[in-house]
Structure 1
Amino acid sequence: MAQTILVTGATGTVGSELVKALANRGLVVRAGVHSLIKGERLKQLNPEVQLVEIEYARPESLHVALTGTDRVFMITPFSEDQVAIGKRIIDAAKQAGVQQVVKLSAAGAEAEPGIQLGRWHREMEQYLEQSGLPYTLLRPGSFMQNFLTYNGEAIRTEGKLYLPLGEAKVNYIDARDIAATAAAILSSPVAEHQGKAYFLSGPAAVGGTDVAAALSQATGRSVSYVDVPEQAAAQAMAQAPAWLRDSLLELNHISKNGHAAGLSPVVEQLTGCPARSIEQFAKDYRQQFQAAPAT
C-alpha cells in the first residue's frame, strides 16, 4: 500500500515542486494549503493529489491533515511566529504517529551564534530532534526562483538586477533540485536518512554579474547587475516589519561578506542528477523574465 505524504506549505516555491515530484513517483500526496481555491492548481499537476486545508491558528486542522499520514515534509511560513508554527506541526505529527518528518531548513542553521533566520530554523530543528520522531533536515542555500519572485519586475521592465551583494559569490540552488532531493528521501526507507542534516547548493557559486549574464543569454536582451549599497537596501525596506527587514538585511550582509559561497554535492548524490546551473535556470524560466510586449 502506497504511503501517504503530507507536504505543508504546498503552494509555495519548494512545496509545489515537491508535490509534483512526489505525485510522479506514484505516492499518495496530501497537499497542505492555506486556501483550497489556491490549491486547485496543484490538482492540475496531478488530479490524484489530495488537498487539505491547514490553518495554523486552528490546531484541529493539523489533526485532520495528519490523520492517516505516514510522512511529513515540513515547510513553515516566513513569518514572525514561524517557530511556534513549526513546534505546533511537530507536536501534531508526534500525536498522529507519523513515521518521519523531513524539515526544510536553511543553510547555516547550525552556525553559532548565526543570523536570526538561522536561529529560527535551528530552534525548530532542535525541537524536532528532541521530539523522538525520525527526522531529516534539508539546509538549502538561497533559491534561484527568488530572482523571479523578488527581482522579476525590475528585470522585465528595466533590464536591471538589483542586489546589495557587491562582488560576492552565492551558492544559489534551483527549488526543483531541493524538491527532487526531498522526494528521493521521502521515497527511501526512513532509516536511510534518519538523523541526517543535508546542506544543499547549486553546482557553482555565482555573483550578480554572472546571474545577469545568464539572464541576458537566455532572454536575448540586455540585463545588467546593479550593486545596491546596503544603506539604500535598508531604506528600500523601511516600511517592512522590523523582524522581516532586519533578518533579510542580515542575510544579505553575510552573503556580501562571502559566507554563502560553499558548495555541496548532495543533490547529485541523492538524486543521481547534477544540480541545475544558473544558466539552466535562466533558460527554463526565460519567458517569465521577458519584457511584456508594448501595447
Structure 2
Amino acid sequence: MATILVTGATGTVGTELISALANRGLTVRAGVHSLIKGDRLRQMHPELQLVEIEYSKPQTLHVALTGVDRLCLITPFSEDQVEIGKRVIDAAKLAGVQHIVRLSAAGADAEPGIQLGRWHREVERHLEQSGIPYTILRPGSFMQNFVNYNAESICHEGKLYMPLGNGKVSYIDARDIALTAAHILSAEGSTHHGQAYELTGPQALGLDEVAAAISQATGQPVTYVDVPEETARQAMGQAPAWMSEAMLELYGLSKAGYAAGVTNTVEAITGCPPHTIEQFAHHNCHRFKASS
C-alpha cells in the first residue's frame, strides 16, 4: 500500500484531492499548517493521517516525508513560494520519495511569461533537475475563485466585479484538477513520469457567461461589471505589493485573451469530462445567496 503525502491539504485543490484519493487502496497523509485546521479533513476521512508542516522548520518536513512513496506538492501563494517548493523537493529527495506530482499553473513554460508563471517555472526546473520522477500539472484559473473572492459582492449586490474586459478564460473546477492528480498519483508504472499537462475546463468563458450561469443557478440576477485596472489595484490595497502586481499582470493576460486555450487532458486522463460552469454554479449556488 503506497503512502501519499499531500502538502497544502486544506487549500482549494488539496481538500478536493484528499477526497479524490479516498477508497483507492492508498495510505493518504495530509500535510497541514495546523492540526486544528486539518481536523475537519479527518472528520470527513477518519483513516486520513494528519501531519503538521512548518516549511521553515526542516524537521517537520523530515517527519512528514518519512515513509512517503509519492508526493503531491502544493505550495502556498506567498512571497517565499519558490524557496518553499525547492525546500520540499530537496527534502523529498533525501526521504527517497519515488514520484512527485507538482501543482503548477497554466503558462508556466511561456517565455518571458508573467511573474506568477516565472515563479512556478523556477520550481518546475528544480524538480526536473532533482532526479525524482515527476509529473507537472498546469491548470488554468479555478472556478472556485468566484466563491473565494467574489461571493460577497454577488450575494449582496448581484455584481461580479473583475478587470477582465471581454477576455475569455478556460476556467477549471478544482474537483477536476484533484481527480486528475488522484489518477496520476494512484497509477502504477511510469506512464505519467516526465509529463507536463495543461488542464482546463471544457470551454473558454467571458465573465458575462459566468454571471449568467450563477444567475441561473441562484434564480437571482447577477451582472458582470468590468472595472479599470486602477480600481482593481485600489481594491487590493491591503495586499502586499508583490501580490497585487502579480495578480494585475495575470488579469491583463486574461483580458488580452491569452488564457482562452482549451485542452481535453482532464477527460483523457480521468475518463470524465470536466465540470461546466453551469454544474459548478449549481453545486455552489448556496455560496452565492445571501443568508436570510
TM-score (norm. length: structure 1)? 0.98
Does the residue aligned with 1:139 lie in a helix, a strand or coil?
strand
Alignment of 1:142-161 (within 5 A): 142-161=141-160
Uncovered stretches (5+) of structure 2, i.e. residues with no partner: none
Distance 1:202 1:239 in 2: 31
Report the alpha carbon displacement of residue 190 of structure 1 after superposing the two structures with TM.
4.3
The answer as to whether partners of 1:107 and 1:139 remain within 8 angstroms in 2 is yes
Alignment of 1:113-262 (within 5 A): 113-262=112-261
Does the residue aligned with 1:110 lie in a helix, a strand or coil?
coil
Report the alpha carbon displacement of residue 189 of structure 1 after superposing the two structures with TM.
2.0
Does the residue aligned with 1:279 lie in a helix, a strand or coil?
helix
Q: Give the match for residue 69 of structure 1.
A: 68
User: CA offsets, 1:132-172, max 9 Å, x none?
Assistant: 00000000000000000000111111111001001111010
Q: Give the match for residue 3 of structure 2.
A: 4
Distance 2:23 2:266 in 1: 18
Q: Give the match for residue 38 of structure 2.
A: 39
Structure 1 segments, 4+ long, off by >3 Å, are: none
What amino acid sits opposite 2:67 in the alignment? G
Percent of pairs with identical residues: 68
Q: CA RMSD in A?
A: 0.7
Distance 2:23 2:158 in 1: 36
What amino acid sits opposite 1:128 in the alignment? L
What amino acid sits opposite 2:173 in the alignment? D
Report the alpha carbon displacement of residue 240 of structure 1 after superposing the two structures with TM.
1.8
What amino acid sits opposite 2:243 in the alignment? L
The answer as to whether partners of 1:134 and 1:190 remain within 8 angstroms in 2 is no
User: CA offsets, 1:69-128, max 9 Å, x none?
Assistant: 000000010000000000000000000000000000000000001000000000000000
Q: Between Structure 1 and Structure 2, how many residues are aligned?
A: 292
Q: Give the match for residue 285 of structure 2.
A: 286
Distance 1:5 1:258 in 2: 37
What amino acid sits opposite 1:33 in the alignment? V
Does the residue aligned with 1:161 lie in a helix, a strand or coil?
strand
Distance 1:176 1:228 in 2: 29
Deviates further, 19-28 or 39-48: 19-28
Distance 2:163 2:24 in 1: 40
Does the residue aligned with 1:199 lie in a helix, a strand or coil?
strand
The answer as to whether partners of 1:100 and 1:190 remain within 8 angstroms in 2 is no
Report the alpha carbon displacement of residue 24 of structure 1 after superposing the two structures with TM.
2.9
Does the residue aligned with 1:136 lie in a helix, a strand or coil?
strand
Distance 1:49 1:219 in 2: 34
Does the residue aligned with 1:39 lie in a helix, a strand or coil?
helix
